[in-house]
Amino acid sequence: MSEAVLGGRYRVEARIGAGGMAEVFRGFDTTLHRTVAIKTLNAPYARDASFVERFRREAQAAARLSHPNIVATYDSGADGTTQFIVMEFIEGRTLAEFLASGKRLTPVQATEIAEKVCDALTAAHGQGVIHRDIKPGNIMVTREGAVKVMDFGIARMVSGPETAPQTSVVMGTATYISPEQAKGQPVDARSDLYSLGTVLYEMLAGRPPFVGDSSVAVAYKQVNETPEPPSVHNPDVPPRLDAVIMRALAKNPANRYQDAAEFRADLERVRRGQEVEATPLLPLAGEATQVISRPRSTEVLPPMIDPPGTGRKVWLGILIGVLVVGVIAGGGVLLANGLLGGKTTPSVALKPMPKLVGLDQTAAIAALKKAGFTKDPVITTQISTQTAGTVLSQDPPETTPTQTDAVVTLVVAKAVKQVSVPNLSTLTADQARTALIAAGLKPGAETTAPSTAPIGQVIGQTPASGTPVAKGTSVSFVTSSGPAAVTVPNVVCLTLGNATARLSHAGFTAANGGPATTFNATCPPGNSRIASQDPGPGPQPPGTTVTIFTNPPSPSPTPSPTP
């Protein structure tokens, strides 16, 4: 692959990393003359249509995202049988590489990194993209200290038919997956927040919340066990930060932070020494009691009660089965038929899926029941300008023949949070971006305009300061490019009075430099005419001093020689 050119443009230079299904190379964009990172799908998977489709979904999901804390995606395509994605090249190392050295971060350092990951997740979730694999290996820290979230390889867009096959697939890394991921249930943005909680825990404690002899053992603990607070492993962790992390690691998504901005706000309070909104969570038993009313979306698998050596083996076997069935998805029926010697499961009636998009959530559920579907739908929310509770999308889509015992997924509009636009005037561009992100808004277009304000200072913004807007709204601003240049008029050969008046009218200051050293014979007679000026005609900042020099007395004519 080295020295190959993909798409007639991207020269592959050196392999810099590899994963289960892809490799990453340093490359060079021969059109824009910049270093890039190129991810290619490994050969065995490039021949599998499902893996190719997943790889393309990664490019689509990543291309929707533009944020300082997310690795940018520039391009994607295919060159023969090679599928590739072109990304921003980052010089630095992953958080996993740092933690592998046995080092721990201070609470302040860990909190600052987590805040920046929250900023990245706020941007991704705002575009309907759930990462689903937040872990130290996917968090890059550059040499300048910038934090970049990368690898949306298993990201899922929360709406759209392309995600339908992924609904029940168990994906992610066992050490960092949420309980609902471990059980193969549908996930939403709060699953990413759980994973970030595990990463923050490891940055402080020097180890993740749960460890085990196998991925299955760790997944079991994610579902059933309550972690020790990180301060047990690191006494430098303050109680407020303990509380924040334990809230992020709640088994029940309803008990976690509900969005990344809320998580970030509590982290910032920790850093500033303020009281946090998080409170110590109830024990697992108490937490399970709180969610009895909604067992479908929040149930926790019961603790192991069988005698040692039997129940655990049974549980592990069941969990392995769940993971395998989740990964192979539709192939489960064929596998079961083969094991049963050709026996088939009882058939389930198929009915056309009713149109649910546009209905109120309650009306949509009623329509499902009326149409003969027996299970309650899975509800996820998405910020939208539509009325809260309105169904934005459905899976399966309208008219699709569907088994009556199938679980239907509905994406429902979430009320838009209103925030006040901060005052950006007098801030620099960097400060303005930081202020907007802290307020839950997105930095929009940045333009410049002439102004007497210092260069780089914000001189205007849209929407205006104090305007209530939806959370996540883009705010554009204008910075000063310095005073606009004005053309110095040509005053040579004008009288001293006229020259002074014309310069003053154009916004310049006239200074009399006295007689010029050279006589200007092109000017009319008279010592008050301007022989020269400095600076001469041309663009200059307003207020510039223009020195004018009057014509010296004309030289006496040379007398003719006496005959």
Q: Which segments within 331-390 are labelled E, that is strand?
A: 350-352, 378-383
**Contact yes or no for 510/503 (Cβ under 8 A):** yes
**Distances from the Cα of 7 to the Cα of 16, 37, 82, 369, angstroms:** 20, 14, 10, 51
User: Contact 358/391 with Cβ under 8 angstroms?
Assistant: yes
Are 82 and 46 in contact by the 8 Å Cβ rule? The answer is yes
Q: So what's the pLDDT on residue 518? A: 86
pLDDT score at 157: 47
| 213 in active site | no
**Closest-CA residue to 296 (of 186, 158, 413):** 186
Q: Report which of residues 298 and 369 the model is more confident about.
A: 369
Lowest-confidence segment of 6-20, 22-36, 227-241 by average pLDDT: 6-20
| Interatomic CA distance for residues 528 and 530, integer angstroms | 7
Q: What is the pLDDT of residues 229-266, one digit of tens each?
A: 999 999 999 999 999 999 999 999 999 999 999 999 99
Reply yes or no on whether the pLDDT at 140 is more than 80. Answer: yes
State the pLDDT confidence band at 184, using cuts at 50, 70 and 90: confident
d(CA 545, CA 185): 74
List the strands of the sheet with 92-94, edge to edge: 92-94, 139-142, 147-149
List CB contacts of 235: < 8 A, sequence separation 6 or more.
none
Q: Which of 112-116, 150-154, 190-194 has the lowest mean pLDDT?
A: 150-154
Distance CA 546, CA 536 (A): 8
d(CA 517, CA 515): 7
pLDDT-derived band of residue 527, with 50, 70 and 90 as boundaries?
low
Give just the sign of the alpha carbon dihedral 55, 173, 380, 249.
negative
Please give the distance of CA 323 from its chain centroid, rounded to a whole number.
29
- Write the CB contacts of 213 (distance below 8 Å, at least 6 apart in sequence): none
Neighbours of 219 (CB within 10 A): 26
Rounded to whole angstroms, what are the CA distances from 341 to 332, 346, 465? 14, 15, 71
Residue 56 binned pLDDT confidence (cut-offs 50, 70, 90): confident
In the three-class reduction of DSSP (H, G, I as helix; E, B as strand; rest coil), residue 169 is classed as coil
Reported as a pLDDT band with limits 50, 70 and 90, residue 556 is low
57 within 8 A of 72, measured Cβ to Cβ: no
pTM confidence score: 0.51
| The pLDDT of residue 384 | 73
Q: Is the pLDDT of residue 462 over 70?
A: yes
Rounded distance between C-alpha atoms, residue 41 and residue 221, angstroms = 33
Fill in the amino acid letter for 504: S
Q: What is the pLDDT of residues 82-114, one digit of tens each?
A: 888 899 898 888 899 888 887 778 999 999 999
Residue 558, pLDDT > 60, answer no
Instruction: Report the chain's mean pLDDT, rounded to a whole number.
Output: 80
Percent pLDDT > 90 in the chain is 39
Which residue has better confidence, 299 or 456? 456
Most confidently predicted of 299-303, 451-455, 496-500: 496-500
Please state the rounded mean pLDDT for residues 523-549: 88
pLDDT tens digits, 346-383: 445 688 999 999 999 999 999 999 999 988 888 877 77
pLDDT tier at 19, thresholds 50, 70, 90: low
Q: How does strand 458-462 pair with strand 350-352? A: unpaired
Res. 190: pLDDT tops 90: yes
Rounded to an integer, what is the distance from CA 208 to the centroid of its chain? 24
- List, in sequence order, every residue forming a beta bridge with 345; answer none if it has no partner: none
Question: According to the model, what pLDDT value does residue 428 have?
Answer: 92
Give pLDDT, residue 409: 84
> Contact at 8 Å (CB) between 139 and 110?
no
Answer yes or no: is pLDDT of 523 > 70: yes
The two tokens of residue 414 are 């979430």
E strand residue ranges, 135-241: 139-142, 147-149, 156-157
Of 98-112, 322-336, 400-414, minimum mean pLDDT range? 322-336
pLDDT of residue 3: 65
Q: Would you say 427 and 435 are in contact if contact means Cβ atoms under 8 Å apart?
A: yes
Residue 411: its pLDDT value, please? Answer: 86
Q: What's residue 7's pLDDT?
A: 87
Quote the radius of gyration of the chain (alpha carbons, Å): 34
Q: What digits encode the pLDDT tens for the residues 271-291? A: 888 899 887 544 434 343 333
Cβ pair 92, 142 in contact under 8 A: yes
Please indicate whether residue 50 or residue 133 has the higher confidence score (pLDDT). 133
**DSSP, res 360:** B
Q: Residue 304 has what pLDDT?
A: 33
DSSP string across 405-419: TPPPEEEEEEPPPEE
- Which residue in 558, 498, 491 sits closest to 523, CA to CA? 491
Judge whether residue 443 has pLDDT over 70: yes
Helix (H), strand (E) counts: the chain: 16, 26
Of 12-21, 91-100, 288-297, 483-492, the one with minimum mean pLDDT is 288-297
Q: Give pLDDT, residue 347.
A: 45
Structure tokens at 164: 């339908």
For 414-418, 437-441, 531-535, which range has the lowest pLDDT when averaged over its residues?
414-418
Rounded Cα gap, residues 418 and 449, in angstroms: 30
Given a cut of 50, is residue 150 above it in pLDDT? yes
Considering the candidates 29, 119, 133, 151, report the single residue annotated as catalytic.
133
